[in-house]
Structure 1
């Protein structure tokens, strides 16, 4: 069987050189025998086919069939090696021609181009007026684009091929452009585009904000940043990782992100970090690691405290690829300090669905500079403020905690309550030394008082106001009675005894009292009736008399099971199609 396989490989080379019409029959013989020979024999056969492929790269039909055969051997478990690199190189050349054909076809009409297997002489004639002598080559490039796509999709599953393209950024960039052009018309190029983006990155510098530690990691088989996030958690968190604080990912999450076969994608991963580029660029989890910005020659990401909780389904976008990530090294404090000096400020980037945080206030003129913020600890987390002790305000039954006020001097306003009698604040130089807030104490002389310590003198009072509302005497007529010229303003109701809002306003302006609410809370009041007392002419017509016949704008807001009206159906427009389906918020490939 081994000799038969080697003979079939030789027949392929001979047919490609001398009898191209017999090539497909020879290729079929290799297909039939490949699964019956050892892996070493297939590796030798692939190496021989690679030389034949290079020799006939510009015989378009021959090269495309040879590329398919090489891809079939790789699918059988043979490393792609030089054959994969050669297939991708030829795709870059023929793909450019296919892109030219597609561009001119779209300029000459609105119809879609023919499938590559259905290209005809009429197709070439359509692009000839624009391309002239280049028309045959461009048409040929479109004709072989599907077969090269099938071969390339297989070759890109090999990590060695992706690594070779990573070392050749120019070819990789050309292939990404070609794939983006052809993917709307040839299905295989959608997956090719994703695999090419996977080839963009295999190393990252990772800065963990909370611990201020910096790592350099390497990975492969990582198709998106959902998978990257899970693998980073597994590699860094806890004693099993690098002792980074956090919650270890569940074993099934890690298995799904690495090598789990037939993954049902039923588990829900809960994210612990925001991924932000060192330059402050938000890193989308739908994208791949190649979307992480490059800073000083390396891709670097900061693991920020999560600003908006989010989760996603487990699973790999390409289940046939094994994913892995390992920490190559932890940077020294000196090297880490260099990276933190390049990083954005802590807390300056949040989830795009949240409003951007306000910029920090500018320091006052002449104010000393703020101390340097320690690594990983946002200034908002440094609780420097120590609340002052609770002071007594002279209420009966409580011992005073400060010197008694001077006889005949007006009592200061209670804490934080503005003076109701006007009067300018006392000059700063006249404020006595700092003492208790309920007595004669004020702020230290010669310095401006803080905003909550201004105490304007009550110039029009004849007696100090009680500082405790619970101990104040009730006004004539009791609490809630309308105020007259001989009574003082009523204090608020005691806590725990709710007062109707109309009664609370009655002593201020009886004319402003709105009508009472509906007699029964079991008979809901439509929101359109609420402003009737303000402008009766603006009241729209009432809702339908029956809750079983609601006014709806789409089938999704129809009555709930049992014929009852959905809660809030009158007050809210129905949700758009698909919004109520939670999977609609996630990526389509994770459904």
Structure 2
């Protein structure tokens, strides 16, 4: 299989360089074989693809299709590497051309913009009224835009590509403008925009109001502050974290925010804090980490006592991207004191929907209860992980001018051992009743013949009727089974070229299971990535020039 894949991939490179009509069959052969080769082999293929993709940039159709191929191999588990950056660089050029086409279309009569694969010479003539000599390149940019969007969505799932984009502020801003403009016409660019915003930041300075401590954290793959909130609670609370007061999150919540699927029995997360910016602005969980304001060169997040209890579903906004968070360091006392002197006072920022406080109440005493299925498991099943760690009374809000407070001696046992240490009262009996305390039966109310859950036995139970036959039908009366319809051929759409529907997403398509005696390898049986390309757009797959038919001949290459 490996040798066959190598030969097919070499045909892709050769036919791309020569703009040969066999390019399309070669690409489909690579897709067919890619699910059966090791990840290392896919990595070598992507390394070889990068220079070819760069040299084919002026052959719009070939470059766009090679980008899609690269994105699919990345989703199969190969690191994007240099080819991922090349995809984004080409998106920058073709994306600006596509933006010009969309604006010109609106200024020359309006109406729905045609789907990228449907543009023809007539659409080029229409936008020429506004774009003049730039109409051909703008039309080609629109024609290829969706394929570049699909490729960009895939390569931005790679952590190294996001890190590289984060280090180039101009490129990040330019790609963000393209994604925002084209998202109004193609959904794939909505996803691209979200991934670009995810890439914008990976570090925070976190200040905890209850303990007056501060931490610097590093994270990646965090799509929103729901996920950030859960990971912060897992990294900071309790003896398993950094000994902050609070309730440890259910381990299943944290796992779903890292790389696991959400557990249906623990999919409702209970919030621990209010998330407030270091400049006193409300942040909340619905925002993104990039929305946390920058104060004196750092994004500063303050963990405040909850002013309104809130819950959410466990998991990741982008399930194909694993999450990650680690505490880099704890701030020294004098540095933490300097930050606390700059941030807002306790209780001055509250949830926008929180009820008003009574005069003189800061709300710092509020501790919400548990909500939802996952909260039930956290209280009943999690044992010591569900114990709330209260802040020591000596850690009340200090005067910033008298900081730092007296150093605390680390207590090896933060709370006395035993189940009753948190409240000081005996642990309640887990059973709501005991045989000795069984409630007396209540008298029947008028109009009711009996209590439906009465524990009083009937004085003289009637003999039980004969047990009915458990089968509602006899084997002789079993209805005939209908023959199952033959399974659809998952490759039927790809064996004959034809127009492709708008907004195909080849990276997310998984072929239906093959019911033939020798099924093709699937994502579950072997390496991931059994995804297939849709047919090539009209005007591409039959052209030896690999450009739309109305663009023959193609302009000479530089």
Cα distance in 1 between the residues matched to 2:359 and 2:131:
56
> Residue 165 of structure 1 corresponds to which residue in structure 2?
165
Contact map agreement 1:70 1:151 (CA 8 A) in 2: yes
Query: Does the alignment pair 1:377 with 2:376?
Result: no
1:263 deviates by 4.9
TM-score (normalizing by structure 2):
0.62
Hey, what's the Cα distance between the residues in 1 that align with 2:337 and 2:331?
Answer: 9
Q: 1:193 to 1:376 in 2, by over 3 A?
A: farther
Q: CA deviation at 1:354?
A: 4.2
Contact 2:235 2:241 survives alignment (8 Å) = yes
The aligned residue for residue 103 of structure 2 is 103
- Change in Cα spacing, 1:51 to 1:265, as seen in structure 2 (3 Å) is farther
Task: Tell which deviates more after alignment, 325-334 or 102-111.
Answer: 102-111
Any idea what the Cα deviations from partners look like across 1:372-401, whole Å, max 9, x if unmatched? Answer: xx986289xxxxxxxxxxxxxxxxxxxxxx
Task: Tell me by how many angstroms 1:208 deviates.
Answer: 0.4
Deviations 1:419-477 (A, max 9, x none): xxxxxxxxxxxxxxxxxxxxxxxxxxxxxxxxxxxxxxxxxxxxxxxxxxxxxxxxxxx
Q: 1:377 to 1:9 in 2, by over 3 A?
A: same
Q: Check whether the contact 2:208–2:303 (CA below 8 A) recurs between aligned residues.
A: yes
Structure 2 unaligned regions, length at least 5? 361-393, 400-558
1:48 matches 2:48 = yes
Higher relative contact order (CA 8 A, sep 6+): 2
CA deviation profile, 1:72-102 (whole Å, cap 9, x unmatched): 2112211111111111111121111111111
1:387 aligned partner:
none
CA contact (8 A) 1:79 1:158 kept: yes
Provide the residue aligned with 1:309 in structure 2.
Answer: 309
Distance in 2 (CA, whole Å) between partners of 1:20 and 1:127 is: 31
Segment drifting more, 327-336 vs 254-263 = 254-263
1:316-368 deviation per Cα after TM superposition (whole angstroms, max 9, x unaligned) = 111222112111110101221222232122222111224888999xxxxxxxx
- CA drift of 1:145 comes to 0.7
What's the CA shift for 1:4? Answer: 3.0
**How far apart, in 1, do the equivalents of 2:202 and 2:396 lie?**
26
What is aligned with 1:149? 149
Q: Equivalent residues in 2 for 1:264-413 (5 A)?
A: 264=264, 267-354=267-354, 377=397
Output aligned runs, 1:547-562, within 5 Å: none
Q: 1:307 and 1:378 mapped to 2: Cα distance?
A: 21
1:313–1:262 CA distance, 2 compared to 1 (3 A): closer
Shift in Å, 1:197: 1.1
- Contact 1:222 1:228 (C-alpha < 8 Å) held by counterparts: yes
Alignment check: 8 A CA contact 2:262 2:314 kept: no
Partners of 1:111 and 1:95 in 2: how far apart? 21
Secondary structure of the residue aligned to 1:21 is coil
| Distance change >3 Å, CA 359–CA 123, structure 1 → 2 | farther
The change in CA–CA distance for 1:285 and 1:45 in structure 2 (over 3 A counts) is: same
Q: Is the 8 A contact 1:9 1:48 kept in 2?
A: no
Residues 29 and 376 of structure 1: CA distance in aligned 2, closer, same or farther (over 3 Å) = farther
DSSP 3-state at the match of 1:161: helix
Partner of 1:189: 189
What SS does the aligned partner of 1:269 have?
strand
Q: Report the 3-state secondary structure (helix = DSSP H, G, I; strand = E; otherwise coil) of the residue aligned with 1:126.
A: helix
> 1:137 is matched with which residue?
137
How many pairs align?
A: 366
Structure 1 alignment gaps of length 5 or more: 361-373, 380-591
Q: Distance in 1 between matches of 2:167 and 2:356?
A: 38
Counterpart position of 2:254? 254
Instruction: Give the 3-state SS of the residue equivalent to 1:218 in structure 2.
Output: strand
Q: Take 1:145 and 1:124, find their aligned partners in 2: how far apart are those partners?
A: 15
Distance 1:8 1:40 in 2: 16
State how far apart, in whole Å, the 1-side matches of 2:262 and 2:346 are: 41
Answer whether contact 1:346 1:376 (CA < 8 A) is retained: no
